[in-house]
């Protein structure tokens, strides 16, 4: 349907033109480059081309890109990026970008960032050291001796260490008893340990160590600091303050450097551009004077690419051929603008595979209807539509974001429609007569409508499967697998109408018997054929649960309406007086914003599910690969082409 033919483009050109060609292809943005290095085995490659190009140039560019990125991230830490998400991007041409990339000031700023970072790291490790010293000294704060002097002399041993707090008394007593002329001074105690200083004659070493050994003594060496522990701690606190000052200085410097940020952003985009070009250039196979390159292009773009290339590189040779059987061809879709947003739903499942047609037109219709019914509030629909339109207009999003915004806009329109049908305008905030009916008054009718919509989609799914079968030449499969099921289902549905009972029996019977006779046709013996045939009727439960699954359309629609009513009721309880009205308005806004968010998410998820499980299950395989053209990708700026491509 809307799957575009994809052709393989082969280019041969002079080697000196390679850079130019890659640039042309990038700016056209219409070709996906094939990395032929993956395809051609090594031995064959060496017969055809010279050895692979070295990655030196690419590495160099990526190194620079890394530096710029580092500087940007570093600056972002100190000076938060204030640019709003919706700010317009600066438009620049490549010449200006290139010029900026050689700016000395810019590279000086990058270097400065590196230096600052290094200083910060040094500062950090110094600080860690300081902190651990303080931590060690804390218990000894009360010790009034300079730390250097805490050491043994020739005759006297002097140690600092810790003992279990409850063992201090007994150690003291034992020392008194066995080691005369010794002293045990408790400097401080915490919950478990007593920090003590021990002095004794070295001649008594033996006795002392025996006592200590029995009492879990552990020796503590104080860190080498100047002055008493208390002085050292004070000193450290001073140092800490200095560090803070240095930090502040660094932050100030970084703030000054952030002047370069706009330039860094431009240069970041520039190197990204150039590095993607360099990596594409490396995919080419080189001979001495020429090179060879391949890519996928959509058929409608063929002519434009050929013209653009030959205009600038008249010596180039460019051909287009059909993809081979074993090629991994990407999928290119072309749908009307109104269908395009729904491609997102299908793509998130899986892009159409080789045997699939593009289901997006069918998906778009059902998705549009279901999404609106699941929210079914005209007020919410208006909010969603305006939100989507506003985002499309001001953000000018690309790719999937653009599709999402389109989806929100279209879904919003559908929501307005269904909301008006069911009389929901921010719940019951604005009383409006429903154009059709109020689901709260008659949920059964709407349940039936949901089922009918489901049955329609299931039949469309069967039709799609039949179409696929017929297109690939399996007409019999279409008749047996889809046609007979359609007959049986029609028959079963007719049972719902009593006046059709007789016909219904006949039609269902024809369908059922047909299925029993045909569903086992791939089996070899008659027994297998019959068993498979009979078992296939079990699939009726599958169809039944498929249809019942559509009841979620009603349920989610009711949920939105009732939650909106809850919000309105609660908000109105606040009413009365000026303050009351203000509070009421706040409650209404917060409540309805919450309800819109949660129900839009619900509607998105459940509408998708109905496509994925109930609809795609009938005919769609997926497994395709999205077309990923080689193009200009910028983050901070928009590239202006110096010439039209």
Partner 1 sequence: MEVLELKLALTQGQFLSVLGAALAVLLAGIGSAIGVGIAGQAAAGVVTEDPSKFGQTLLLQALPGTQGIYGLLTGFVIMQKIGLIGGNIADVSTTSGLLILAAALPIAFVGLFSAIAQGKAAASGMGVVAKRPEELAKGITYAAMVETYAVLALLASILMIFGINI
**What is the contact surface with partner 1 in residues (CB under 8 A)?**
348-349, 440, 443-444, 447, 548-549, 551-552, 554-556, 558-559, 562-563, 565-566, 569, 598, 601-602, 605-606, 608-609, 612-613
In the bound state with partner 1, the residue whose beta carbon lies nearer, of 452 and 605, is 605
Judged by beta carbon, residue 444 or residue 526, the one nearer partner 1 is 444
Q: Rounded to whole angstroms, how far apart are CA atoms 278 and 258?
A: 29
CB 352 to partner 1: min, Å: 16
Q: Residues 31, 36, 39, 40: what is their CA dihedral angle, to the nearest 10 degrees? A: 150
Going by C-alpha positions, the residue among 109, 134, 108 that lies closest to residue 243 is 134
Give the shortest CB-443-to-partner 1 separation in angstroms: 6
Least Cβ distance, residue 442 to partner 1 (angstroms): 9
CA distance linking residue 344 with residue 98, whole number of Å: 36
Instruction: Give the integer Cα–Cα distance in Å for 424 and 434.
Output: 7
Least distance between partner 1 and beta carbon 548 (Å): 8
Residue 180 Cα to chain centre, angstroms: 75
Residue 231: CB atoms within 10 Å: 15
Considering beta carbons, is residue 302 or 565 the nearer one to partner 1? Answer: 565
Query: How large is the greatest C-alpha to C-alpha distance in the chain, in angstroms?
Result: 120
Rounded alpha-carbon distances, angstroms, from residue 615 to 387, 462, 482, 512: 29, 9, 14, 22
Is 187 or 440 the residue whose CB approaches partner 1 more closely? 440
Q: Annotate 59-81 with b (16+ C-beta within 10 A) or e (fewer).
A: eebbebbebbeebbebbeebbee
Location of structure tokens 């490790």: 125
Which is nearer to partner 1, 487 or 571 (by Cβ)?
571
Q: Which is nearer to partner 1, 513 or 562 (CB)?
A: 562
Query: How does DSSP assign 86-133, residue by residue?
Result: TPPPEEEEHHHHHHHHT-HHHHHHHHHHHHHHHHHHHHHHHHHHHHHH
In the bound state with partner 1, the residue whose beta carbon lies nearer, of 119 and 572, is 572
| DSSP string across 400-444 | HHHHHHHHHHHHHHHHHHHHHHHT-STTTTS----SS--TTT-HH
Contact 12, 291 (CB under 8 A): yes
Residue 218 bridge partners (DSSP): 162
The least CB distance from residue 461 to partner 1, in Å, is 18
| Residue 440: CB minimum distance to partner 1, A | 8
Residue with Cβ nearer partner 1 (45 or 70): 70
Q: Min. distance of Cβ 130 from partner 1 in angstroms?
A: 29
CB of 568 to partner 1, least distance (A): 11
Nearer of residues 24 and 554 to partner 1, judged by Cβ = 554
Residue 400 beta carbon to partner 1: minimum distance, rounded to whole angstroms: 9
Contact residues for 215 (Cβ-Cβ < 8 A; gap 6+): 163, 164, 167, 170, 171
């Amino acid at each position: 349907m809307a799957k575009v033919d994809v052709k393989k483009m082969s280019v041969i050109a002079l080697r000196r033109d390679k850079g130019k060609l890659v640039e042309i292809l990038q700016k056209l943005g219409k070709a996906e480059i094939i990395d032929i290095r993956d395809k051609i085995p090594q031995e064959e490659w060496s017969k055809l081309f010279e050895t692979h190009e070295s990655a030196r140039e690419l590495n160099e560019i990526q190194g620079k890109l890394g530096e710029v990125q580092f500087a940007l991230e570093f600056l972002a830490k100190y000076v938060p990026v204030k640019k709003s998400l919706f700010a317009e991007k600066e438009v620049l041409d490549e010449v200006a970008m290139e010029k900026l990339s050689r700016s000395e000031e810019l590279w000086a700023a990058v270097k400065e960032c590196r230096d600052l970072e290094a200083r910060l790291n040094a500062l950090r490790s110094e600080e860690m050291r300081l902190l651990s010293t303080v931590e060690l000294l804390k218990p000894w704060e009360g010790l009034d001796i300079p730390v250097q002097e805490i050491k043994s002399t020739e005759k006297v041993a002097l140690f600092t260490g810790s003992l279990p707090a409850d063992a201090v008394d007994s150690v003291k007593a034992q020392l008194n008893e066995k080691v005369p002329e010794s002293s045990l001074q408790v400097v401080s105690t915490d919950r478990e340990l007593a920090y003590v200083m021990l002095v004794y004659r070295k001649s008594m070493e033996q006795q002392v160590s025996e006592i200590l050994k029995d009492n879990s003594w552990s020796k503590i060496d104080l860190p080498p600091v100047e002055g008493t522990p208390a002085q050292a701690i004070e000193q450290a606190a001073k140092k800490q303050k200095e560090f803070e000052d240095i930090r502040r200085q660094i932050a100030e410097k970084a703030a000054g450097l952030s002047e370069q940020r706009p330039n860094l952003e431009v240069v970041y985009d520039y190197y990204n551009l150039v590095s993607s070009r360099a990596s594409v250039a490396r995919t080419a196979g080189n001979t001495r004077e020429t090179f060879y390159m391949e890519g996928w292009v959509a058929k409608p773009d063929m002519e434009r690419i050929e013209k653009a290339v030959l205009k600038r590189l008249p010596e180039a040779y460019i051909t287009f051929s059909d993809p081979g059987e074993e090629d991994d061809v990407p999928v290119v879709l072309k749908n009307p603008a109104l269908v395009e947003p729904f491609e997102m739903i299908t793509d998130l499942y899986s892009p159409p595979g080789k045997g699939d047609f593009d289901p997006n037109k069918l998906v778009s219709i059902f998705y549009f209807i279901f999404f609106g019914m699941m929210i079914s509030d005209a007020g919410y629909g208006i909010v969603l539509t305006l939100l989507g339109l506003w985002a499309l207009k001001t953000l000018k999003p690309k790719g999937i974001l653009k599709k999402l915004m389109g989806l929100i806009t279209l879904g919003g329109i559908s929501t307005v429609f269904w909301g008006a049908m069911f009389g929901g305008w921010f719940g019951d905030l604005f009383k409006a007569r429903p154009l059709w009916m109020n689901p709260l008054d008659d949920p059964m009718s709407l349940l039936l409508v949901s089922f009918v919509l489901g049955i329609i989609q299931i039949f469309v799914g069967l039709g799609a499967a039949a179409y696929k079968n017929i297109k690939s030449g399996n007409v019999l499969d279409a008749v047996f697998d889809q046609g007979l099921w359609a007959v049986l289902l029609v028959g079963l549905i007719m049972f719902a109408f009593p006046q059709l009972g007789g016909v219904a029996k006949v039609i269902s019977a024809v369908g059922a018997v047909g299925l029993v006779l045909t569903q086992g046709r791939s089996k070899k013996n008659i027994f297998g054929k019959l068993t498979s045939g009979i078992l296939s009727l079990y699939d009726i439960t599958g169809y039944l649960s498929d249809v019942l699954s559509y009841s979620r359309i009603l349920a989610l629609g009711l949920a939105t309406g009732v939650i909106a009513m809850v919000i309105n009721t609660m908000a109105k309880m606040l009413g009365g007086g000026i303050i009351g009205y203000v509070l009421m308005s706040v409650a209404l806004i917060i409540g309805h914003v919450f309800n819109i968010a949660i129900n839009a998410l619900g509607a998105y998820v459940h509408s998708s599910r109905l496509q994925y499980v109930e609809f795609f299950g009938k005919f769609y395989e997926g497994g395709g690969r999205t077309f990923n053209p080689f193009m200009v990708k910028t983050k901070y700026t928009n590239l202006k082409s110096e010439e039209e491509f």
